[in-house]
Amino acid sequence: MSEATMMSVPLTLERIVERAAGRLGHVEVVSRRPDRSLHRTTYGKVAERARRLARALVAAGVKKGDRVGTLMWNHAEHLEAYFGIPLAGAVLHTLNLRLHPDEIAYIASDAGDVLVLVDEVLLPLWEKVAPRASGVRQVIVVGASKPPAAPMLDYEAFLAGADDATPLPTLDENDALGSCYTSGTTGRPKGVIYTHRSTLLHTLVTALPDSLDVSRDDTLLPVVPMFHVNAWGLPYAAAMVGAKLVFPGPHLDPTSLLELMEGEQVTIAAGVPTIWLGIRDALEKQPRKLASGVRMVVGGGGAEQLIRDFDRLGLRLIHAWGMTETSPVGLVSRVPPELAGKPDDFTYQLRARQGVPPPLVEVRVRNEAGEVPGDARTSGELQVRAPWVAARYADGATPERWTDDGFFRTGDVATVCPHGFVALTDRVADLIKSGGEWIASQQLESALMAHPAVQEVAVIGVPHPKWSERPLAVVVLRQGQQASPDELRTFVADKFAKFWLPDAFVFAESIPRTSTGKMKKTDLRAQYKDWAWA
Ligand code: AMP
C-alpha cells in the first residue's frame, strides 16, 4: 500500500491556462496576419477567449474525447485552440496544411474530427478536403474578413455566443489532450494521442535550462508549424513560464522572419534546417541587428556546417531530436561544463550530434549483438522510453514498434560517443547496402554539407548490378558556386572508408521535401532507380 501523503493535483492543461490567465496575464502574444500587419494580444486575453471557446464547443455538442481539428497557421487564435479545445475535454487535432487535400481528408476522417477550425485564408484548401471529410459536422472560420457562407460559422461570433454558465467537464490527467499524425514517408500516416499528463511533463522538461531553456526572459518565435508535433511543444512551454510569444502566421520567408526577430527582439526561434539555411543566406547577404544572445533550436538534422556558420553570424544553433511519437523532445545537444574549453573541432562535432536525453527520457541504441558500445562507430537502432512517448498508435497498428520492455523502436540508426551523445547516422529505411556492408547516408550528407559550394545534398542508394546498391549524391549548389564531382569526392575522402564514397554526383535545382521539410528520399530513389553506372 502506498502512503498517499501528498496532494494528488491532476497534471492537466488547466494548470497552465490558469497561470496564463492570472499571474502571466500581461505577457504579450504577437501574430503576423496574412496581410502582414502585426496583431497584439496577451496571455490573459488568449486564456479568456480559450475558455469561451471551450464553453462554445461544449454548447455546440462537442463531448469529452471528441476530436476537433485545426487547419491553421501559427497565430494567437491557434494558441486559443491549443488551450480551449482540451479545456472542453476534446482532443486538439492539428491538421497539416501542407499535405495533399486527399491526405488531409483521410487523416481528418481517420481521427474522427467532428468540428474543424479553419483559417479564412485556408478555405480554398478546405473546400478540396471537405467532400471527403464527411464526419466533420461544423466548420468555424478564423480570421474572417466577411461573414462565412452558411453553414460555416464565424469564429468571433462563435466565441461571442458562449455562455459563462455552460459547465466545462472535469479533466483527468490521463484524458487525451491532442493528436498528431506521423508524416508517413512510408505507409499511411498513423495517429498519436497525447494526454494532459504527457503534455504537462513534456512541457516542464523542455523548458529546463539544459533542454530547450525557455524562461520568462525570453521571446519565443515558433517557426516550426503548430501542426507539426505541437510546434515541438514550445507554445505550451512559453505559456507555462511566461515567455513572450511571436507567431509568424503564413509568412515564413527569411526576410519576414528576420524582420520579426529584429522587431520583436526574439531570443529563441525554432524550426527545421531548411528555414535556417534560408536565414543564413539572407544574413550573409545583408547582416541585421538581432537580439543579443539569440538562440535557435533546430530539429531534423543540423549539419555541423550550419552550426559553424551561425556561430560566425553571432547566433547559436541548438540541435535537438524528436518524433511525432515522442511529443517530440527526446534528445538535446548542449556541451556539458566538463567538456567546455575543448578544441573547436571537438565541440562542433558534439553539438552536431543529436544529443543526450533530458530528464525522464531513457534512450538506448541496440543492434543484433545488444546495446552498442560508446565508441561513436558501432551503430544500432535508437530506442526510447519516457512519460511522453506514445505507448501505441491510436488504431493499435504496428505493435512491433514497441519492445517487450516498453521501449519505442524509432527506426533511426544511431551511434553513441564516449560522452554518451547519440548521433543519428540514418533512417533504417535510408541505409545503403553495398556489397553486404551498410553505408549511412546522413553521415555522408553532413560531411558534404561542409563544402562551401554545397547548399543541400541527399545521398541515396541506387541499384547496382554488382554491389546491390551504391551511393549516389544529389547536390544543390549554392548560388553562383561551382564544384565538380571529383572535388566533392576528394573533399570527404579522408573521413570515410573508400567504399562509402558516392560513385556518382548529380547536380539538381532542389531536393524534394515532405510537408514538414524532410528530404523525400523515396522520390529521389524512384527518380534515379534506372541510373546507368559508369
Ligand atoms: P516527425 O515524426 O515527422 O517529426 O519525424 C521524425 C523523424 O525525423 C525522426 O525519426 C528522424 O528520422 C528525423 N529527425 C528528427 N530530428 C532529427 C535530427 N535532429 N536530426 C536528424 N533527423 C531528425
3-class SS string, 243-288: CEEEECECCCCHHHHHHHHHHCCCCEEEECHHHHHHHHHHHHHCCC
What values do phi and psi take at 363, rounded to 5? -130, 155
Question: Rounded to an integer, what distance in angstroms lies between the CA atom of residue 409 and that of residue 426?
Answer: 14
Residue 329 Cα to ligand 1 midpoint, Å, equals 10
Give the closest residue (by CA) to ligand 1 atom 1: 323
Question: Rounded to an integer, what distance in angstroms lies between the CA atom of residue 481 and that of residue 226?
Answer: 35
Query: Which mutation among 232, 321, 431 tests ligand 1's pocket best, with the greatest number of atoms within 8 A of CB?
Result: 321
Closest ligand 1 atom, CA of 183?
A: 3
The conformation of residue 31, written as its DSSP 8-state character, comes to E
Long-range contacts for 362-367 (Cβ within 8 Å, ≥24 apart)? 362/386, 362/407, 363/330, 363/331, 363/422, 364/407, 365/414, 365/415, 365/416, 365/422
**Strands of 316-322's sheet, edge to edge?**
38-42, 28-32, 244-247, 219-222, 268-271, 295-299, 316-322, 329-333
Strand-pairing partners, residue 385, are: 362
For residues 114, 248, 194 and 518, what is the CA-based torsion angle, rounded to 10 degrees?
Answer: 100
CB 322 within 8 A of CB 299: yes
The conformation of residue 25, written as its DSSP 8-state character, comes to T
Question: Rounded to an integer, what distance in angstroms lies between the CA atom of residue 273 and that of residue 277?
Answer: 6
Residue entry with cell 551504391: 470
The pLDDT of residue 302 is 58
Residue 229 Cα to ligand 1 midpoint, Å, equals 11
Low-confidence ranges of the chain (pLDDT < 50): none
Rounded to whole angstroms, what are the CA distances from 59 to 1, 88, 115, 152? 42, 10, 13, 16
Beta pairing class for 408-416 and 380-385: antiparallel
CB 222 within 8 A of CB 266: no
Closest ligand 1 atom, CA of 331?
A: 19
Residue 328 Cα to ligand 1 midpoint, Å, equals 9
In tens, the pLDDT along 370-406 reads: 999 999 999 999 999 999 999 999 999 999 999 999 9
Closest ligand 1 atom, CA of 516?
A: 3
Using alpha carbons, select from 129, 123, 131 the residue that is nearest to residue 149.
123
Identity at 526, one-letter amino acid code = A
CB 329 within 8 A of CB 322: yes
The pLDDT of residue 39 is 98
Strand-pairing partners, residue 164, are: none
* Number of residues written out for the chain: 534
What values do phi and psi take at 232, rounded to 5? 60, 25
Using alpha carbons, select from 281, 333, 286, 287 the residue that is nearest to residue 309.
281
Closest ligand 1 atom, CA of 411?
A: 10
What residues are labeled active site?
Answer: 182, 325, 433, 438
Question: Rounded to an integer, what distance in angstroms lies between the CA atom of residue 326 and that of residue 122?
Answer: 28
Question: Rounded to an integer, what distance in angstroms lies between the CA atom of residue 28 and that of residue 14?
Answer: 20
CB 37 within 8 A of CB 249: no
Query: Which mutation among 182, 323, 393 tests ligand 1's pocket best, with the greatest number of atoms within 8 A of CB?
Result: 323
Closest ligand 1 atom, CA of 328?
A: 4
Decide: helix, strand or coil at residue 456: strand
Rounded to whole angstroms, what are the CA distances from 367 to 203, 388, 409, 415, 454? 32, 24, 11, 10, 33
Q: Residues near 2 by Cβ (< 8 Å), separated by ≥ 6?
A: none
Beta pairing class for 153-154 and 138-142: parallel
Decide: helix, strand or coil at residue 194: strand
The pLDDT of residue 4 is 84
Give the closest residue (by CA) to ligand 1 atom 20: 301
The pLDDT of residue 1 is 64
The pLDDT of residue 147 is 96
Residue 120 Cα to ligand 1 midpoint, Å, equals 31
Residue entry with cell 502566421: 249
Q: Residues near 528 by Cβ (< 8 Å), separated by ≥ 6?
A: 460, 462, 472, 474, 506
Query: Which mutation among 325, 401, 412 tests ligand 1's pocket best, with the greatest number of atoms within 8 A of CB?
Result: 412
Q: Residues near 188 by Cβ (< 8 Å), separated by ≥ 6?
A: 106
Rounded to two decimals, the pTM is 0.91
Question: Rounded to an integer, what distance in angstroms lies between the CA atom of residue 31 and that of residue 59?
Answer: 28
The pLDDT of residue 326 is 98
Identity at 67, one-letter amino acid code = R
As a whole number of angstroms, the longest Cα–Cα distance in the chain is 76
Give the closest residue (by CA) to ligand 1 atom 14: 300
Residue 322 Cα to ligand 1 midpoint, Å, equals 6
Grid cell digits, residue 417:
560517443
Q: Identify the residues whose C-beta falls under 6 Å from ligand 1.
A: 182-183, 229, 299-301, 319, 321-324, 328, 354, 410, 412, 424, 427, 516
Question: Rounded to an integer, what distance in angstroms lies between the CA atom of residue 52 and that of residue 168?
Answer: 10
CB 208 within 8 A of CB 228: no
Residue 299 Cα to ligand 1 midpoint, Å, equals 7
In a 10 Å sphere around its CB, with 0-12 CB exposed, 13-18 middle and 19+ buried, how is residue 508 labelled?
Answer: middle
